[in-house]
Amino acid sequence: MENDADLPRRIGVYAVERELGAGGMGKVYLARSPGGRAVAVKVVRPELAADPHFRERFRAEVAAARRVGGFHTAPVVDADPDAQSPWLATAYVPGPTLAELVERQGPLDEERLRSLGAALAEALQAVHACGLVHRDLKPGNIIMAEDGPRVLDFGIARAVEATRLTATGATFGTPGYLAPEQARGEQVNGAADVFAFGAVLVAAAGGSAFGGGAPMGLMYRSVHEPADLSALPGELRALVGACLAKDPADRPAPETLLASLGPDPNPDLVPDTNTLALAAPDRPRAAPPVPALAPDVPGGVDEPPRPAPSRKPRVITLLIVAVAVASALAGGLLALTRQGDDKKSGSPPATAPESRRTTPQASTPQASAPPSEPPSPRPSAAPKDRVTIVVTAGSEGSWISAKGHNGRSLFDGTLESGETKEFADKRRIDLVLGDASAVQLVVNGKVIPNDFSPGQVERFTYNRGD
C-alpha cells in the first residue's frame, strides 16, 4: 500500500481516498465521485501506458466492458484511455476479497464452493456474452459482497472481436491462474477464464492447483503438470479437473458449469461425470499406483471400497491347522507308547533318522564338503547420485524445481546469483531450470556444459548410470 503522501489526489474527477490494491496491470484506488459515490479506479502501469498498441486495445475493452451486466460483476462507470496514465472506474463493492475471506475464515465447504462456482459461472457468461475475456480471474479479483460474489477488474480483459493488438509473447495475468495458452503468450478466448475458474475453486477449498513458489515455477506447472485437486470435495473434482484441462477445447463452457453447480441443475445441460473426467487430460494415467501416496495424488479420485475378503480360505486354513495339530498329538502319543514298550523289552529307544537331526552340511561326507565360506555381508545402500546446481555470477538468479525418483519434491524455489544447491537420490533426479543459461550443473563431480539461451526453460532427468 502507498503512504498517504504518495497517493494521487485526484484521478479524473474522482478524489482519491486510499489504495485498494495492485495487480498485473496497475493500481486500484478507492475514490469518490463529485456527488459522493464510491468508485474503484484502476490506473495503468507506466510501461503499458507507453505502448500505443495497448492504448488501442484498452479503448476497445472499455467500450465492450461498459456493456457487461449481470448480478455478479461491478459495472464500469467511467474511463479515460487517452490520459497520461489510462484509467478505468467501476462501482465500488464493499466486502473482503475471496483471498482475504479464506485467509480469515478458512476454506469454503462444498455447499459454499458450489454457490461460489455458480455465481462465477454466471459472471463469466455475462463477460463472454459481451465479447470479453477477463484474463485475470483470481481470488483477489473476487469481492465477497453481502448479496453474493462480484467479479472485478476488467482492466486486462481482452475483446475477442479485436484484432491482434498485443505484441507477440506478451503475457498478462497472475501465475497459478494463467491458462497454459496464456502462459505461452498465445491468443486466448473464454476457455482461459474457465481454466482460472477451476484454479479459483481449488484456492477457495484451501488448496493450490499448481503449488506455490516462484512465478516461473507456477507457470511451468500449469503448462506441463497436472493440477492438484486434493483439497476439493470428491464430487467436485471431475468438474474442476475438466476446467483445468491443458487443451482449451476440453474445458466446459460457463453454461455447463452453471447448469452443474446451480441450485436447480438442468438435466439437459449437466454433463455426465464420467464424460467430464475423460475430457480432462490431467486425470491420472495408467501409472503403477503408489499405495502410500495414493490418497494425495493430485487430481485423483477416492479409491473405491475393496470387497470384503471371502471367509472360505480362512475356514480351509483353520481346518488344515486343526488336522496338523491332531496329527502331531497322535504322533506324540504313539512315540510315547513305543518308548514305554522298548523299556519293557530292553530294546534301545527309537531315534529319528540322522538326516532329520543334522543340517545338510553335517550329513555330507567330509571329503566332498565344499570349503566353508564366510556369510555374505548385507548389501550396502545404493550410492546416491549427487547433482549440484550453481547459479553463475552476474545472473539475476533462476527458478529451480527438483524431484526425486518417487516424485517427492527436493527443492522448489529461486536461487540467487552465487548460490549453490545439492540434491541426492538413489535412482533418479528430475530437474526443471527456469533460466537454464544462468545455471551450472555438476553431476557426481562432473561439470555438465550448457549453451542455453538466456531465459530458456530446460528440463533434465538424471538416471542411475547416466
DSSP state of 73: B
Q: Give the residue carrying C-alpha cell 464430487.
A: 235
CA distance 217 to 316: 57
Output the nine-digit C-alpha cell for 304.
473405491
Q: Which 3-state string (H, E, C) describes 238-305?
A: HHHHHHCCCCHHHCCCHHHHHHHHCCCCCCCCCCCHHHHHHHCCCCCCCCCCCCCCHHHCCCCCCCCC
Q: Which candidate, 185, 231, 228, places its Cα nearest to that of 204?
A: 231
HSE-CB of 58 using CA atoms within 13 angstroms = 26
- Cβ atoms < 10 Å from Cβ of 84: 10
9 class by beta-carbon count within 10 Å (0-12 exposed, 13-18 middle, 19+ buried): exposed
- Strand 10-11 to strand 132-133: parallel, antiparallel, or no bridges (unpaired)? unpaired
- Is 136 annotated in the active site? yes
For residue 188, give the C-alpha cell.
486466448
Answer yes or no: are the C-beta atoms of 423 and 386 closer than 8 Å: yes
Helix and strand counts by DSSP (H, E) for the chain: 13, 18
Distance CA 98, CA 139 (A): 5
Q: Which of 6, 80, 136, 153 is catalytic?
A: 136
Contact 75, 69 (CB under 8 A): yes
Determine the 3-state secondary structure of 130 from DSSP: coil
The tally of CA atoms less than 13 A away on the side-chain side of residue 155 is 29
The candidate with the shortest Cα–Cα distance to 125, out of 193, 218, 204, is 193
CA distances from 466 to 204, 283, 403, 443 (A): 43, 31, 17, 9
Determine the Cα–Cα distance for residues 159 and 188; give it in Å rounded to an integer.
Answer: 10
Q: Report CA torsion sign: 449, 452, 455, 459.
A: negative
460 SS3 class: strand
Residues of the chain by 3-state class (helix, strand, coil), percent to 5? 35, 20, 45
**Which amino acid, 256?**
T
Are the CB atoms for 361 and 369 separated by under 8 Å?
Answer: yes
Q: Quote the CA–CA distance of 98 and 110 in Å, as a whole number.
A: 15
Measured in residues, the chain has a length of 466
The catalytic site residues sit at: 136
